Chain A
Amino acid sequence: MHPRARVAGYVTATVLVAVGALWATGGLGPADTPVPTPPGREVDQHLFRTRLVGAHVATVKKFGQSTRMLVINAWVTNPTRETLGTYGVDDDVFAHGMFLHWRTQDGPRPKQVDAQAIAGDTLFRSLQPRLPTYVAVQYELAAGTRVPDRVTVALADYEHTESGVLDPRGYWEWKPRRYETRYETDPLTHRSGRVTHIIPVLVADVRLPVRS
């Protein structure tokens, strides 16, 4: 083989491998870092359009017991063509894509316990297409938890899978930044195995003042 042809072959092979590697790893797109966003500005999560508007600490009485809650308020619009929910076990509910940045020195991390839509005195959990809905996401505070003056809330990005193993009609799930596989034991069935989790792309970091 002519030396020049051999060099051309090596160069072509190298370029092909580089392009393949870039394609497999997501390419040269911008880094998936959340954009600092002021309160009240709309964030496009693709599954929801969200405006985080405030945070406050409230005491909620349930079944005769008072619980301190950190409540995050948002206006949420469902841009899809079907009814979605604020809270539940499914992946495509609003609260599933909300993450609280938390410093360990402020005590135990608040636990997300519910998210309810509010209209007047009425509480509900459905997000109807194209109807902006006021939502309160509740985080239970432990006795030793100190709530800072400001909290930062990250919002996940979603993508629609056209056809998948779980549902051939397609479904929404977090847009993956990467995947993490861990060895876990199911608390109900006690069966153990490797479970793969999506680590989502975060589209926005919203810093909210907390009213006490």
Chain B
Amino acid sequence: MRRIASIALAVALACAAVALQSARWSYTRAYGPFVKNGRIGRTVTEPRFTIRVDRVDGARTIYVPPTDHTKAQQIPATGVFVVVLATIEARHSLVYAGQARLHTRYGDYDPTDKLGGGGGLSMPLVTPLSYVRFEPGMPRRGAYVFDVPAAAVAGARLYVSDHDAQEAPFGFYRDDPRRFAAEVHVDLGLDPAEAARLTSRPPSGYAVPEPS
């Protein structure tokens, strides 16, 4: 009887050990960003910057005015362009709010690279907020532009972080940009009715404002 109890206990402990291994926290939960939630129209204060989302627009095409070297262009959306107009200010020192994503039920969308500037090697045709260097006391208003399926717009939230500038070494091989970063999650107020308004008849030839 005693031997059977010992075997049962050993098996139970082994099962518990295996179960504990698979029940570990996800990487994001263990090392993910420190999140601060906000809402459209309200200022959210992070340790290194403040952000206020002023407005969200939809667009079918984006108009890029001519320059000395290029002619005027109409850039078409594959889905629909979601243009998030926001004001950002650095708090203590120079900062880039370079990591922006539109979090939707279909996944996370990076800002579109249809405006150029891919890889940071050239300037985009219209400068998005991701490329702007913010200085303390000098708030700047500009836009993040996303290209998403129309069905993904309802419930979308803007995630913004400065963690590109705060890479943390991870292990031997790579730097991990997400560890312990500060990140703002802004509810854009895109309920189904508002999402339908943005996506049902989005305007063509939308002019994305350059950062102020």
Contact = CB atoms under 8 A, between A and B. Distances in A.
Contacts of B28: 169
Contact of A122 (B76, B148, B149, B171): B76
Contacts of A33: none
A82 B108 contact: yes
Nearest to B146: A128
A120 B109 contact: no
Given A83-B108, A122-B76, A165 B173 contact: yes
A128 B110 contact: yes
Interface string A97-135: 000000000000000000000011110111011111100
Contacts, number: 69
Instruction: Using C-beta atoms within 8 Å of the partner chain, give the interface range for chain A.
Output: 20 to 34
Contacts of B148: 128, 131
A163 B24 CA distance: 12
B113 A124 contact: yes
B30 to A, nearest CB: 9
A81 B108 contact: yes
A83 B76 contact: no
A120 B108 contact: no
Nearest to A131: B78
Interface string B116-134: 1010000000000000000
Nearest to B71: A121
B48 interface: no
Contacts of A170: 27
Nearest to A125: B118
A12 interface: no
Contact of B74 (A80, A120, A130, A167): A120
Nearest to A168: B27
With most chain B CB atoms within 10 A of its CB, the pick from A82, A122, A133, A168 is A122
Contacts of A83: 108-110
B152 interface: yes
Given A80-B107, A122-B114, A165-B173, A128 B78 contact: yes
18 contacts: A81-B106, A82-B110, A120-B74, A122-B75, A122-B114, A125-B118, A126-B112, A128-B78, A128-B79, A128-B147, A128-B148, A129-B107, A130-B149, A131-B147, A166-B173, A167-B174, A169-B27, A169-B28
- Which 10 residue pairs are nearest across A and B when measured between Cβ atoms? A81-B107, A83-B110, A129-B107, A169-B27, A131-B78, A124-B113, A124-B114, A120-B76, A126-B113, A168-B27
Given A120-B76, A129-B152, 18 more contacts: A81-B106, A82-B107, A82-B108, A83-B110, A119-B75, A119-B77, A120-B74, A121-B73, A124-B114, A124-B116, A125-B118, A128-B109, A128-B110, A128-B147, A129-B106, A130-B152, A131-B147, A166-B174
Interface of A: 80-83, 119-122, 124-126, 128-133, 163, 165-170
